[in-house]
Structure formats: structure tokens, C-alpha cells
């Protein structure tokens, strides 16, 4: 939290999210995908780069169940997971 | 004796004819030599007076010319000064939007870097060498009865890569509670690079009695984070969410003193 006594300094201005707010998953429709993602994180010592496939699956589940606006996955930063790269050497880097 | 006194003062600006008549009158009087000498004196005085008068006339001419010259010069100087004054005032008014533009372009002063759009998310390349630790914090307002906590304490991301994180909220009470949240990022400068694609903040979220939900946050760190020299020693970013209870007619109180 911004400290109380700094009247002159810059304060943090929260910005609204780019695509708005996630509707709540009241019925737990995507809970399984979430559990898979959390398990992956725990197994990989919370390294997000290893679990991007699971996060993509979770977001796809959300889109299927009307819990998220449908969008092409490239726009969500999953370009490397959607399009198989032409050469195997570029497997780890984004094209 | 009085005559010279009378005549002398009038000698300053008399016309020539008047002088002559006065001289003749003095000649007619019985002053004799003194008068003659005085007329000579007058004559002598006349010439220098004429010269004087010419001098004053010419001096007045030059002074008049000079005065006019000075007047025009003063006028132009005054107009220049007035224009400069007006220009300064206009500049001080124009400085506000110009400074804002400059800040946006250069990113100084903690202003949001302009140009956060989906194209950036699509085209950004992850900076694999720079691993950052994102820690999560969850708070609730004192009167908010939800149980709100993060599902992971930390996550390791790299700039330019989108990441997903989860919070969990439970309503342990017997009545539905509507919550609304806001967030904060420390350190302050790193907050400018922290971009949320989608989250659960700033909108009312309703939890039914005894309901528990997972709340995701989908975010990324701007790849320009790696190029910022001020961020060279920043390796941990903390994302902190705070839930408040939403009541009718109340707006979200932002933390700190900036009520925008």
C-alpha cells in the first residue's frame, strides 16, 4: 500500500484490466483445469513458463463456458502454443 | 529706467517689429546715450536672442523630432514587452498538456506508458533471461467477512510472457455479500510495467452464502521492463489485492490519498 505520509510523492494509480473483469465461476466449471494448473505449478516450483499449456487450457475452458470473451489465443500471448513452430529448434522461443 | 526693465522681460519672445517699435520709443525718450547704448544692447541682444530663438526653435525642432522618435521607439518597445508578457502567459497554459505529452513519451514521472493494446500482447517476445518473482498478497477490509487468500504465494515469470494466478474467496456467512476489489503493486515503478489482461477487480462480485470461488488474474510484465535501468535491481514484484464490501451508492475507496 502506498505509505500514508508521502503527500508529495507519486501515488500508485491502479489501472483497470485490458479486457475487463472475469465473471465468477460460481459453478466450478473450470475447476479441474485450475487444479491441473496448480498441480503443474507446484511440481515445477511455481515456474510459470512450464505451465503455460495448462493456463491455456484453463482459459479455453472459460471461453467455452461463457466465462470469458472468446478471443484468438494469439492475442492472449499463446502464439507459440497455438501454432506449431516450423523448426524444432524454435520450440522454446516465440516466433 | 523702468523701460529697460519693462522691455527686457518681453524680449524673450517678441516679434521683430515689436522690438523695433520699442527701440524707437526708447530712442524717442530722453535717455540719450544710455538709451542708445541700450538700443545697441537690445540690437546685440536681439541677434543672439534671434539666434537663441532660432536655437530654441531648432533645438525644439530637434527635440520634437527626437521626442517623436523616442515616442515611437517607446511604443515599439512597449508592444514587444506586452507581446512577450502575453506569450509567457500563453506558454504557461500550454505547458500543462505539453508536459503531459512529454511524460507519456518518455515515461518519466511514473505516468502510464501509452500503447497498451492487444497487438503488443500478440507480438511481444519473452525475455527469458530475466526471471522475476511475483508474490501475492490478499487483504480484506475490516468489515468484509469474506475469506480471501491467494492460492499460490509466489510465481516465477519472465517479462513478455502472460501468466495466470489464482485467488480464492469464500463467503462463510449466511447472507450474500457483494465485494469489490482494488489492487496495488510494489515497487511503485514496477507497477507501470505490470499489465493485467483480465482480473476480478473494480467490478462487483457477488458471493452467495457459503460459496467459494476461484478468482483468476491473467497478467504479463511488459518486456520493456528488462530495458529500464531503474528496474535493474528489481527481482520481486508484489501484487496485493484488497476486497471491500460493496454497498449501494458507494464507490471504491482507492488506497492512499489519491482519490481519482
Give, for all 260 residues of chain B, the pLDDT tens digit: 555 555 555 555 555 666 666 656 656 655 556 676 666 666 666 655 555 555 555 666 678 888 899 999 999 999 999 999 999 999 999 999 998 888 777 765 554 554 456 677 778 888 888 899 999 999 999 888 899 999 999 999 999 889 999 999 999 999 889 888 889 898 888 888 888 888 888 888 888 999 899 999 999 988 888 888 888 888 999 999 999 888 766 655 555 444 44
CB B157 within 8 A of CB A48: yes
Please tell me the predicted confidence (pLDDT) of residue B127: 83
Identify all chain A residues contacting B218, using CB atoms and an 8 Å cutoff. 22, 59, 76
Of A32, A23, A91, the closest CA to residue A63 belongs to A23
Burial of residue B256, with CB atoms counted within 10 A of its CB: 0-12 exposed, 13-18 middle, 19 or more buried: middle
Residue with cell 479441474: A32
A21-49: pLDDT as tens digits: 888 888 888 889 999 999 999 999 999 88
Identify all chain A residues contacting B240, using CB atoms and an 8 Å cutoff. 1
Ramachandran class of B208: left when φ > 0, alpha when ψ lies in -120 to 50, beta otherwise = beta
- A70 to each of A19, A73, B59, how far by Cα in Å? 11, 9, 94
Nearest to B161 among A34, A45, A48 (CB): A48
Enter the C-alpha cell of residue B229: 535501468
Amino acid at each position: 500500500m502506498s505509505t500514508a505520509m508521502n503527500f508529495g510523492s507519486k501515488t500508485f494509480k491502479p489501472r483497470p484490466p485490458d479486457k475487463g473483469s472475469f465473471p465468477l465461476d460460481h459453478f466450478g466449471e473450470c475447476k479441474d483445469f485450475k487444479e491441473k494448473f496448480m498441480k503443474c505449478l507446484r511440481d515445477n516450483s511455481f515456474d510459470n513458463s512450464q505451465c503455460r499449456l495448462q493456463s491455456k487450457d484453463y482459459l479455453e475452458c472459460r471461453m467455452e463456458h461463457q466465462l470469458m470473451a472468446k478471443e484468438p489465443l494469439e492475442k492472449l500471448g499463446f502464439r507459440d502454443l497455438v501454432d506449431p513452430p516450423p523448426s524444432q529448434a524454435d520450440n522454446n522461443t516465440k516466433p | 529706467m523702468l523701460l529697460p526693465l519693462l522691455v527686457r522681460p518681453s524680449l524673450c519672445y517678441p516679434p521683430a517689429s515689436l522690438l523695433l517699435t520699442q527701440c524707437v520709443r526708447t530712442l524717442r525718450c530722453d535717455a540719450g546715450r544710455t538709451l542708445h547704448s541700450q538700443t545697441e544692447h537690445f540690437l546685440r541682444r536681439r541677434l543672439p536672442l534671434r539666434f537663441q530663438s532660432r536655437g530654441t526653435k531648432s533645438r525644439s525642432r530637434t527635440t520634437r523630432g527626437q521626442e517623436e522618435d523616442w515616442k515611437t521607439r517607446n511604443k515599439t518597445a512597449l508592444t514587444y514587452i506586452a507581446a512577450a508578457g502575453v506569450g509567457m502567459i500563453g506558454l504557461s497554459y500550454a505547458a500543462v498538456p505539453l508536459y503531459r505529452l512529454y511524460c507519456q513519451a518518455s515515461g518519466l514521472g511514473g505516468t502510464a506508458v501509452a500503447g497498451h493494446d492487444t497487438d503488443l500482447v500478440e507480438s511481444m517476445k519473452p525475455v527469458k533471461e530475466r526471471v522475476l518473482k511475483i508474490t501475492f498478497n490478499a487483504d480484506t477490509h475490516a468489515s468484509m467477512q469474506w475469506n480471501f487468500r491467494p492460492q499460490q504465494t509466489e510465481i516465477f515469470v519472465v517479462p513478455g510472457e502472460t501468466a495466470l494466478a489464482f485467488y480464492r474467496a469464500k463467503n462463510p456467512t449466511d447472507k450474500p455479500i457483494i465485494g469489490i476489489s482494488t489492487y496495488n503493486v510494489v515497487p511503485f515503478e514496477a507497477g507501470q510495467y505490470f499489465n493485467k489482461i483480465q482480473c476480478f477487480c473494480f467490478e462487483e462480485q457477488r458471493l452467495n452464502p457459503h460459496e467459494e470461488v476461484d478468482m483468476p488474474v491473467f497478467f504479463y510484465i511488459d518486456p520493456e521492463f528488462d530495458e529500464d535501468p531503474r528496474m535493474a535491481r528489481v527481482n520481486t514484484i508484489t501484487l496485493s489485492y484488497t476486497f471491500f464490501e460493496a454497498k449501494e451508492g458507494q464507490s471504491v475507496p482507492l488506497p492512499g490519498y489519491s482519490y481519482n
